[in-house]
Amino acid sequence: MAGKTTISLIKCDVGSLAGHHVVPKPLLEIGEKNLERAKENGIINSYYVFNVGDDLELLMVHERGESNSDVHQLAWDTFQEAAKKAMELKLYGAGQDLLKNAFSGNIRGLGPGVAEMEIDERKSDPIIIFAADKTSAGGFNLPLFRIFADPMNTAGLVIDPSMAGGFKFEVMDAKESQSIVLKCPEEMYELIALIGTVERYIVSRVWRARDELICASSSVSRLSLIAGKYVGKDDPVMMVRAQHGLPAVGEILVPFMHSYLVAGWMRGSHWGPLMPVGIKDARCTLFDGPPRIVALGFQVADGKITSDDEGKPMIADLFDDPAFDLARRETMQYASMLRRMGEFEPARLSVESMEYTTLPQILEKLKDRFKPV
């Protein structure tokens, strides 16, 4: 739509180095090459390619709107090409998240994760994107609640009259494929009642209530529901707008001052502490984790990511900062406590969440040996 800017963050695990650890350089270079060409051809206006653990992340800014088939095709073709390279190099899990063969205009439902937001640019529009590995979109429920509804987190909810009308949350029910919109502060308790169930109810969008300004968008997909079996966690992405009548960048980051537990980690089957890290540490090691999250800040202007004099997008690696050392230390304390419990709940996810793991196969194998009591 003319005059509007769209931010698309599309990610996919196309294969990785040394197990499910990190996306190596040759695959990132395929992302760079394809997105540079798409920029020259006018499909997108600017881009940034990075990785979090084994997920290849394509940030693209353009004027084609959400769910645009050219932009989605670009991401799909790039993931296909990177997966092919991963296969040639015999990297691990080559093509892991590419669950369908045919692309028909929209990448949603085919495996890759998508967060998109079409905005009317404000005079100055700061955006933060978040990308996590070894967890799923419900892991963003807690920080999204804190940012947009918790007056003990976001001073602006109390002090800034332009935020006084509160925010509306769209919540997806991943099990029943339905959604509901709840408004805070009025429906705060109902909102928490739902989104505290992080494996089922997932915050997908947030708007400022007084004028419906879009403020946040997250990827909601369930790879296991697409594939019918466990094929990796969804490793979510989201984007949040900041400042001038919206939460400040610092209010958006403060929920990450402390680590908290998310579903995922080893074999997508454990509670694990989330570790905020800079891009240099965005790789999973210990027990295939701990789950990592990266936050990148930038400005969107005239349909592009604001760039420097050489035309390079200016990106702030927000968790690459000593202010998050405390959360990183806590992550390791919680990790050590949880790993001492091995495969005993609550270190391991509950049986309902294990539906799409190898646990059903074990139950199937043992089913004839159970005797009535």
Q: Catalytic amino acids?
A: 13, 230, 233
Distance CA 161, CA 175 (A): 38
Residue 268 partner contact from ligand F6R, Mg ion, none using kind-dependent CB cut-offs of 5 to 8 Å: ligand F6R
Q: Return the one option of Mg ion, ligand F6R, none that residue 288 interacts with (CB less than 5 to 8 A, by type).
A: ligand F6R
Distance of closest approach, residue 91 Cβ to ligand F6R, in angstroms: 12
**Helix, strand, coil percentages for the chain (3-state, nearest 5):** 30, 30, 40
* CA distances for 271 relative to 135, 258, 295, 335, 350, angstroms: 9, 16, 21, 9, 10
- Is residue 55 a contact residue for Mg ion (CB under 5 A)? yes
Alpha-carbon 276 to chain mean position: 13
Phi, psi of 238 (to 5 degrees): -155, 165
Interatomic CA distance for residues 195 and 139, integer angstroms: 10
Q: Which is nearer to Mg ion, 112 or 255 (CB)?
A: 112
Q: Which does 136 bind (CB under 5 to 8 A by kind): ligand F6R, Mg ion, none?
A: none
Residues 187, 199, 235, 288: which binds Mg ion (CB under 5 A)? 235
The residues of the shown chain that bind ligand F6R, judged by CB under 6 A, are 19-20, 93, 134, 232-233, 266-268, 288
Nearer to Mg ion by Cβ, of 154 and 357: the residue is: 357
- Which residue, 68 or 136, is less far from ligand F6R as judged by CB? 136
By CB under 5 A, residue 63 contacts Mg ion: no
Tell me which amino acid residue 296 is.
L
State which amino acid sits at residue 276: P
Rounded CA gap, 212 and 226, in Å?
A: 32
Binding mask 128-167 for Mg ion (x = CB under 5 A): -----x----------------------------------
Phi first, then psi, for residue 333 (nearest 5°) are -65, -45
Closest CB to Mg ion among residues 265, 298:
265
Give the footprint of Mg ion on this chain (CB under 5 A).
13, 20, 53-55, 93, 96, 133, 235
